[in-house]
Every structure is written in C-alpha cells, then in structure tokens.
Structure 1
Amino acid sequence: MKIALLGYGRMGKTIEQIALQRGHTIVLKVDENTESYDINKADIAIDFSIPVVAFNNISNCLNNNVPVVSGTTGWLNKFNNAKELCQQKNGGFIYASNFSLGVNIFFELNEYLAKMMRNLKQYQISMEEIHHTKKLDAPSGTAITLAEGIIKNSDKESWALTVTNNTTEIPIVAKRIDDVPGTHSVEYKSDVDTIDIKHTAHSRDGFALGAVIAAEWLVDKKGVFTMKDVLGI
C-alpha cells in the first residue's frame, strides 16, 4: 500500500517503521510544518496528528476518496460529523482510541467485569491512566473508552477527573510521566478486598502495528468501522 502519515511524531515514526517492515510504502509525511500536500498520492491515510487538525485531516481524506484510519484523540466532539461525511462520500473510516490488540481485549474484559460488578454496591470503582508528558489530552481516549464501557454496563452515568461524592461518577486519575507509553487500570474496592485489572504497554509498537493492520483491513471497504470489526471480536 501507499500510505500517507498524517502526523509524524513518535507514533508516526513508529508506524512508518512497521509499515516498511510489512512491505508498504510511505508516500506522504505530514506534520505541523507541512503547508500543503496531495492526499491523492496515497492508497490510504493513517492519522496520528493532534486534536486541532485531526478532523480536517480526516475530512480531506474522505472528500478525496482516500480511506483513513485515525488514532488521534481529543477531537471527538466532531466524530459524528466525520461519520456523516464518510457515509455521504461512501468512504472508508476507522477510528479507535487505541489500536493495540491487547488493549482491545482489555476493553472487552472491562465490560464483562462491569456487568459482573453491577449489583455489588459495596465496591467503589475508580480508574487511573498514565502516559508520557507530551500527551496533550487528559484523560486519554483509552481511559474514556474504558469509562464508557463501564457506564454502558452499570449504573454509573459519567466520569470525572476529580474525586467527588457523586456515586454516579467514575473518578479518573490522569498522570503524565516521561516516556510512559500507556498504562490503564480499573479498580473495584470494598472494605474487605480489591479487584483490579490493568494493561501496561511496554512500547508504542503494539499501537503502531494495530494501526497498520487496521489500514490493511480497511482497503477497498466502505463504511465506518471499529477495531472490533478489524479483529473480529
């Protein structure tokens, strides 16, 4: 495939390495210093940019009939617009807050555990996420996906970055530490015990590989998809 990288930071460079290893070609590398580019050079685009430009990147791809995979978080107030544009243009689009295979298994485990814990009111739920200091959004998109999975399967109604007395909220602690690729944990605590599940990324390679696999899967497909579609889970 001829791939356009929209965003050429740490993740973009890691995606480039893995894409080349898998026999693909990088035809565009777009970063904050790129003034203009021709997206039509590419068979597919992978967007790991920044929140303020992600929607414009995705729209440009869809308007030019170039399928796009996006892992940028922090722009989801315009996600429905992107879905509508994809459907209008009969394009191909995958968004995921996290492309790692392990994290997507963790998402499923999180929802299953939430269902089991739903009626056990003695347990207080909380979440923690840790990322590198250059991550711009907090909480992470992965943490929000985890929280939404719990909300869908429990009596919780929302999440918050502050600990309050509101029992319908899931408190999330977001930490930023140098060179941490990503750690997410969900804890259920009672007076007698604690149940917790945790995913720790050791490098960015898992995220990058998942994004390239998603791009390979998306070629020649039309519609709005998720990693569940890609992985068949």
Structure 2
Amino acid sequence: MKIALIGYGKMGQAIDAIATAKGHEVILRIDLNSKHLLEKEHLGQADVAIEFTTPETAYHNVLKCFDANVPVVCGTTGWLDKLPEIKAICLEKKQAFLHATNFSIGVNIFFEVNKKLAELMAGQPQYGVSMEEIHHTHKKDAPSGTALTLAEQLMASVTRKTSWVNEESNQPEILPIISKRIDPAPGTHTINYTSPIDDITITHTAHSREGFAAGAVVAAEWIKGKTGVFTMRDVLNLG
C-alpha cells in the first residue's frame, strides 16, 4: 500500500516506522516545508493518506485528499466544528473519510467501557463524576479530543450532566475536565465516580505513541478501496 503522510511530526514519524515495518511504502512525507506536495499530481499517487497536523490546517488538507480521490484517515483534533461539513462533502463526492480522536485499539475499547459504565451510573445520582486527562506539554488542544469523546459518551447517559468545563467545578450539572500537561506523558485519561461511601474509577494510560500510530496504520489498511464516512468502531467491528 502506498501512503501519503500529511504531517510529519512525532506522530507522523511513528506512523512511518510502523507502516514501513509492515511492508507499506510511504511515498509522501508532507510537512510545513513541503506543502506543495498536497497538490493532486502528488497526492493522487497514494492509495491512502494519513493526516495528523493542526486544527487550522486539517480541513483544507482533507479537502485536498478528496480532490485527489484518495481515502483519508485523520487524527487531528480541535476542529470538531468543521467535521459535519467535511462528512457531508465526503458523501457528496463519494470519497472515503475516517476520523478518530484516538486510534489506539486500547482506547477504543476503553470508549466502550466508558459508555457501559455511564449507562450503569445514569440512575445513581449519589455519585458525582469528573474527568482528568494528562498529556505532554506539546499537546496543542485542551481538553484532548479523546477527553471530549469520553465526555460526550458520558453525558449521553448521565443526563444530569448537561455541559463540561475545562476546570474544577462544584455545579451539579457541570462535568469538570481537568487537563494537565506533563512531559513526557503520551496520554492518560481517567473518569471518576465518587460518593460518600465509595469511588469507581476507570483509567487508560498510554505508555508511548506506538499504540496510536499502529491503530492509524490499521485504519489506513482497512479504508483502502472503500467509500463513505467511518470511525474506529467500524475498523474494530465494535458494533
């Protein structure tokens, strides 16, 4: 499989290493100094593109992939307001788009655990609930995209929480999300349910970027040859 890597920071380099080890060919490595390679004549040579850049550039990068008729796997977070528009364009142009706030297989299983626990706790108002996420100091968005996914899942069931804030809060309808930036943490997410008599806590801790990068390559392998809008739930057949 021929891969175009859009974004060649630490995550792009980790994806490059894993894809190459699996026998794939990375034919384009696009960073700020090689943005001209985003043109159709270059992108069109790839079987799939993997996009990890910034919230400011992701939208246009994905459109470039659509124009080149190349399926795109996108892991950039912090631009959720643009996702509905991108999904509509994808379907209109009969392209392929897969976005995930986190490609780690372990995290995607953790998402399912979070949803199930939230369903069980929906009728237990004696429990307060809060979240914490820890990332390295170069993380550009806060809360993390993964934390926002977890929050949305939680609030879908625990309806006494109607919104979130990125700070401590004692308001009963608010879900507090505490963001910490500590090197070299690649990512830890914790959900706490607390009551006067006991606590229930679930945590996912990443030990390196390898899990995220490996999941992105699996997603790229899966999306090749498909059209439509997908998530990691489709890739992992999580129903």
Query: TM > 0.5 between the two?
Result: yes
CA RMSD of aligned residues (A): 0.8
Secondary structure at 2:36's aligned position in 1? coil
Task: Tell me the distance in 1 between the aligned counterparts of 2:142 and 2:214.
Answer: 24
Task: Tell me the distance in 1 between the aligned counterparts of 2:194 and 2:22.
Answer: 44
1:113 is matched with which residue? 117
Tell me by how many angstroms 1:157 deviates. 1.5
Tell me by how many angstroms 1:50 deviates. 1.1
Matched, 1:98 2:90: no
Q: Which runs of 4+ in 1 moved over 3 A?
A: none
Q: Structure 1: which amino acid aligns with 2:15?
A: I
1:16 is matched with which residue? 16
Segments of structure 2 that go 5 or more residues without pairing to the other structure are none
- Whether the 8 Å contact between 2:162 and 2:173 is mirrored in structure 1 is yes
**Alignment deviations for residues 31-78 of structure 1 (CA, whole Å, 9 cap, x no partner):** 122230121121110001111101111110012210000011011110
Secondary structure at 2:97's aligned position in 1? strand
Q: Which of 184, 187, 191 matches 1:182?
A: 187
Matched, 1:217 2:207: no
Secondary structure at 1:41's aligned position in 2? coil
Task: Tell me the distance in 1 between the aligned counterparts of 2:176 and 2:35.
Answer: 41
Secondary structure at 2:34's aligned position in 1? coil
Task: Tell me the distance in 2 between the aligned counterparts of 1:160 and 1:166.
Answer: 10
Q: Structure 2: which amino acid aligns with 1:188?
A: Y
1:127 is matched with which residue? 131
Secondary structure at 1:119's aligned position in 2? coil
Tell me by how many angstroms 1:165 deviates. 3.5
**Alignment deviations for residues 145-170 of structure 1 (CA, whole Å, 9 cap, x no partner):** 00000011111221111223432221
Task: Tell me the distance in 2 between the aligned counterparts of 1:35 and 1:9.
Answer: 14
Matched, 1:208 2:213: yes
Q: Structure 1: which amino acid aligns with 2:17?
A: Q
Task: Tell me the distance in 1 between the aligned counterparts of 2:173 and 2:226.
Answer: 40
Secondary structure at 2:175's aligned position in 1? strand
Task: Tell me the distance in 1 between the aligned counterparts of 2:191 and 2:5.
Answer: 33
Matched, 1:172 2:154: no
Matched, 1:71 2:75: yes
Q: Which of 85, 93, 97 matches 1:89?
A: 93
Task: Tell me the distance in 2 between the aligned counterparts of 1:31 and 1:167.
Answer: 44
2:63 is matched with which residue? 59
Q: Which of 43, 50, 53 matches 1:39?
A: 43
The percentage of aligned residue pairs carrying the same residue is 53
Change (3 A) 1:226 1:138: same
Normalised to the residue count of structure 1, the TM-score between the two structures is 0.98
**For this pair of structures, how many residues does the alignment match?**
233
Q: Which of 144, 151, 165 matches 2:148?
A: 144
Task: Tell me the distance in 2 between the aligned counterparts of 1:80 and 1:35.
Answer: 25
Q: Structure 2: which amino acid aligns with 1:27?
A: I
